[in-house]
Amino acid sequence: MATARPSDRQAPPPRDVVVTWPDYDPDGEHLGLALRRAGLTPRLEAKRGARSAAEMRRLLAGAVAAIVSTDPFDAAVLAASPGLRVIARVGVGVDSIDVDAATAHGVAVTTTPGANEATVADHTVALMLAAMRRICEHDGGVRQGQWNRTGRHTPWLLTGSTVGLVGFGQIGRTVARRLAGFEVRVLVTDPVAPRESAVEAVSLDALLAQSDVVSLHAPLLPSTRRLIGARELALMRADAVLVNTARGGVVDEDALVHALERGRLRAAALDVFEEEPPRASRLLALPNVVLSPHNAGLSIPSIEEMTRRATGSVIEVLRGRAPEHLANPRVLEHAAFSGAPLAAGGGRG
């Protein structure tokens, strides 16, 4: 019987894991090294700016898994990636992923809840203080040789004010605990009535009308897209501040710029934008806006925890196991999750 020549042997199936999360350590004990021990190959494709669906289709060629930032995974991307088994999101938001399409194609979508709540809460309070104390305006003035301390340059006070939290999940509750030391009155609007006695549950309109600071903590859903538009901004006090560490799409950005430019709103502090990065946004020219690059949830501990969890989710799925924090549990009913472990290769059912 003839011995098969090397060129006649079937090539092993691809085992690439595309990693778009910036600064992922390919040699980290619980990151790239863990992937390689599982027979997988990390392929680093860091997302450091806007990324198109067409680019994602190219990057995912031959990949069985992806550990991702806020990359776009629309239905076309998923249809063009037949080998893909799991999208492990470093974070909790899945608004950049068509979860229904992922389920239909047998692709698990996982998140990392609870890993960055304290970090987001810290950043939220930092943005409140930066806007109220006008830190960025004064920093720029000092650098230009100015010494503007009083008059129209006078800072404002967070202590003793009324803060409205739109959304009262884990992050909203953590923010409320941070604010306790500032002796503020906390108003909350959320579909689930809060149980904490230290906060007052009110309607969105009442919250907007009464708050000195409005802080957004709602997920981006069809029901919350542009939740804060021209009508809602008109309800806010002219001396109020809007803080957004949720998602850019929760706010109508044009309406916000209009309100800020016309003095209908005192200031805004934003970590998220409708387009990221916000290259052409009129927000960039406004002195009464504090900006950060969608990094409210990022700290050394939170990144370590989120990337470790995302990596573990990939390995679990590719071993044919149900991972923790599955955004689309119905995917477990898909043919892709029956039979041999997924890492053994083969197309989706």
pLDDT of residue 110: 98
Q: Are residues 128 and 243 both part of a single domain?
A: yes
- Residue-by-residue DSSP string for 230-243: HHHHHHS-TT-EEE
161 backbone dihedrals φ, ψ, rounded to 5°? -85, 180
Helix (H) or strand (E) holding 78: helix 75-79
Residue-wise pLDDT tens digits, 276-287: 999 889 999 999
pLDDT of residue 3: 53
**Number of neighbouring beta carbons within 10 Å of residue 164:** 28
349 lies in a domain?
no
pLDDT of residue 1: 46
Residue-wise pLDDT tens digits, 5-55: 555 555 556 689 999 999 999 999 999 999 999 999 999 999 998 899 999
172 lies in a domain?
yes
The 3-class SS string of 185-228 reads EEEEECCCCCCCCCEEECCHHHHHHHCCEEEECCCCCCCCCCCE
Tell me the residue type at 325. H
Supply the mean pLDDT for the chain.
93
- Strand ranges inside 50-184, DSSP E: 63-68, 86-89, 108-110, 162-166
Lowest model confidence (mean pLDDT) among 58-62, 215-219, 259-263, 343-347: 343-347
- Tell me, yes or no, if 58 is annotated catalytic: no
Residue 293 has pLDDT above 80, yes or no: yes
pLDDT of residue 346: 41
- Percentage of the chain lying above the pLDDT 70 cut: 93
2 lies in a domain?
no
Residue-wise pLDDT tens digits, 135-144: 999 999 999 9
Give me the catalytic one of 200, 274, 276, 304.
Answer: 276
pLDDT of residue 193: 81
Nearest to 277 by CA among 289, 291, 290: 291
User: What is the domain range of residue 146?
Assistant: 117-291
Which tokens go with 343? 């890492």
Last residue of a domain, one of 246, 273, 291: 291
Q: Are residues 277 and 189 both part of a single domain?
A: yes
Mean pLDDT of 247-255: 97
Assign residue 321 the CATH number of its domain.
3.40.50.720
Mean pLDDT of 170-175: 96
Q: Are residues 163 and 64 both part of a single domain?
A: no
Nearest to 268 by CA among 210, 216, 203: 216
Residue 344 has pLDDT above 60, yes or no: no
Please, are residues 287 and 137 in contact by the beta-carbon 8 Å criterion? yes
Q: Are residues 124 and 46 both part of a single domain?
A: no
pLDDT of residue 5: 55
Give me the catalytic one of 51, 134, 294, 334.
Answer: 294
Q: Are residues 103 and 200 both part of a single domain?
A: no
How far is the C-alpha of 274 from the C-alpha of 278, rounded, in Å? 8
Q: Are residues 44 and 128 both part of a single domain?
A: no
Give me the catalytic one of 173, 247, 308, 334.
Answer: 247
pLDDT classification of 348: cutoffs 50, 70, 90: low
pLDDT of residue 195: 84
Residue-wise pLDDT tens digits, 190-239: 999 888 889 999 999 999 999 999 999 999 999 999 999 999 999 999 99
Three-state secondary-structure class, residue 247: coil
Residue 174 has pLDDT above 70, yes or no: yes
Q: How much is the pTM?
A: 0.89
Q: Are residues 136 and 187 both part of a single domain?
A: yes
**Number of neighbouring beta carbons within 10 Å of residue 151:** 6
Q: Are residues 111 and 160 both part of a single domain?
A: no
6 lies in a domain?
no
pLDDT of residue 7: 52
Q: Are residues 127 and 229 both part of a single domain?
A: yes
Q: Are residues 167 and 237 both part of a single domain?
A: yes
63 lies in a domain?
yes
- Tell me, yes or no, if 294 is annotated catalytic: yes
pLDDT of residue 42: 97
Length of the chain: 349
Residue 69 has pLDDT above 80, yes or no: yes
Please, are residues 66 and 88 in contact by the beta-carbon 8 Å criterion? yes
1 lies in a domain?
no
Please, are residues 242 and 268 in contact by the beta-carbon 8 Å criterion? yes
Nearest to 298 by CA among 290, 289, 310, 307: 307
How far is the C-alpha of 219 from the C-alpha of 246, rounded, in Å? 6
Lowest model confidence (mean pLDDT) among 96-100, 109-113, 230-234, 338-342: 338-342
Per the structure, how many domains does the chain have? Answer: 2
